[in-house]
Amino acid sequence: MATKVTTRWLLAGLVGVAGLHGVGAAPLHAARAPLAAQDAKAELEKKLAEIDKKDANAVFQVALWAEQNNLKTDSKRLLRDVIKIDPNHAEARALLGYEKFGEKWLTKREIEREKAKAEEAEKAAKGLKKWKDQWVPLEEYEKLEKGLVKYEGADGVQWVSPEQKERLEKGMVLYDGLWVTKEDIEHLRKGEFKVGDKWLNEADANKVHADFTNPWVLESDFCQLTTTCTYAFAKEALMHADKSIEKAYQITGLPMPKSADFQKIGLIVVKDLADYTQLGGQVNDAFDATMSSNWSTFILTDANTGRFAGVTIYEVLQAGNDKSNDMFSLGHVRYAAAAAATRNMVFAEPPSPWFSVGIASYCERYWHPTGRAADNKNIAKWTLDTLMKEGGKIDLKTYFDPFQGTRQSILQAGAVIGYLIDGQNKPKKVEEQWNKVRDSLGKPKDKGLLKDFLKLETLLGKEADKELDAYIAAIQG
């Protein structure tokens, strides 16, 4: 209707109403070119002075005149005045780009949004959510958002990375950390590894993969390891990484995902300091940059996925003492894996910095994946001796805020986590608040996590400083 009215008025203004009402009818306006800008402005003011500005139709006629005479800005302003006077003035609404949608006047874009919202609500009621251009079940949406794809094999449906899907479609299996075809397993059993189109013995394969342009890439249940270390060390590192990732989940109180649904934690272990330095140069976070210098381990953000990977270096403490060097560097692996796992967890609010560092430090220095008490105590005792050399325990009243990424504070962070999960006879308030923090960690949609951490830090400073001293003394004793 609005279009017909507007067309009729414009035609009348150009050729008179003879063509609309018959020959001899008086024209509404004589045919003429639009007025010059200055004259049109003056005429517009005159027309506005002659009408009742509360009369929507009168204002609308002047708006149409302004449009015909190239006063487009004034025309739009007057049309908006019209719908202020009469919100349901159909012709003015139409010229402003509105359409009737239900009981509302909306622009086309608003209508599209309303339709999309209605469709989304309808689909949500059916348990669906839009991913790209298709509606999928909510549980599938969450997996697709993680970059996983569906693979339907003999064992049923699995959600895997695109790379894993390609391997599975080729009939490859994970054997001793490596993805190989079933025919290649016999080679691995004989200690032969495929490099390019050749099968090499382990020693020669290690030489090839010692170059970071062609590293070993191994996988376990929860970790994908890229390394220039030896294959034997890499397999041991995978075990330590998996156990540390599980421990990190245990400490936070979150349920450990099934390995089939787990988006594997990236881990990089290099032997060459130049490789480590080059990776460290890609860090944008100031705290992670500090960690790369102070702790030989840091977190690297994947620019494509936004996920976090742990990076560390294999350190040679004693030339020729591979067992000792392996043991020390496996500690770095545990730290990097636990730190990356914690950073990839989803919380309503970011936990206090000391908490993530503390979990990683605990996994590296106060705990051992063998579970043997002697292993745990030996490494923890050695760590606390190191803490004393670094300046000793920092008073808990000043320790948490601000948390510094120094060797001293990192070593102590592990001790604080150890005290919270292993300490005996903790003050009741501290125990209760620690449990509250862990409960809040498991509620990714609820706010209040930072407040819970602040209260825990305050209680530790007031009531647990001597208790932490006793925990440390018991380990050293």
Quick one: pLDDT at residue 34? 66
Same domain, 294 and 423: yes
**Is the domain of 105 the same as that of 132?**
no
Same-domain status, 100 and 147:
no
pLDDT of amino acid 27: 35
Q: Quote the pLDDT of residue 142.
A: 83
The per-residue pLDDT for range 269-306, each reduced to its tens digit, is 999 999 999 999 888 888 888 888 888 999 999 877 78
Co-location of 242 and 99 in the same domain:
no
Full-model pTM? 0.71
38 and 7, same domain (yes or no):
yes
Tell whether 79 is covered by a domain.
yes
Does 209 reside within a domain? no
Check if the beta carbon of residue 440 is closer than 8 Å to that of residue 255: no
Q: Is 297 among the domain residues? A: yes
- 119 in a structural domain: no
What is the tens place of the pLDDT at every residue in 229-241? 999 999 999 999 9
Same-domain pairing of 333 and 381 = yes
pLDDT score recorded for residue 373: 72
At residue 150, what is the residue type?
K
In a domain, 269, yes or no: yes
Question: In this structure, are 105 and 136 located in the same domain?
Answer: no
pLDDT at 455 (0 to 100): 96
pLDDT at 205: 97
Claim to verify: residue 365 and residue 399 sit in the same structural domain: yes
Cα–Cα dist 333/356, whole Å? 15
* 338 contacts 360 by C-beta, under 8 angstroms: yes
Residue span of the structural domain in which 46 resides: 2-109
Residue 289 counted as domain residue: yes
In a domain, 9, yes or no: yes
Do 275 and 418 lie in one domain? The reply is yes
Q: Are residues 153 and 243 in the same domain?
A: no
Angle (CA) 33-36-41 rounded to 5° is: 120
The rounded mean pLDDT for the chain is 87
Query: CATH no. for residue 285?
Result: 1.10.390
Give the pLDDT score at 260: 67
Same domain as 228, residue 153: no
What is the spatial distance between Cα 72 and Cα 15, in angstroms, rounded to a whole number?
A: 22
CATH number at residue 62: 1.25.40
Which pLDDT score is estimated for 39? 83
Q: What is the pLDDT of residue 257?
A: 84
3-state SS of 267-331 is EEEECCHHHHHHHHCCCCCHHHHHHHHHCCEEEEECCCCCCEEEEEECCCCCCCCHHHHHHHHHH
Q: Within a domain: residue 118?
A: no
Supply the pLDDT for residue 33: 59
Low-confidence ranges of the chain (pLDDT < 70): 1-35, 260-261, 444, 446
Residues 89 and 135 both lie in one domain:
no
What does the pLDDT look like over 329-339, one tens digit per residue?
999 999 999 99
Q: Which of 109, 141, 174 is the last residue of a domain?
A: 109
How many Å apart are CA 437 and CA 455, to the nearest integer?
A: 9
Q: How many domains does the chain have?
A: 3
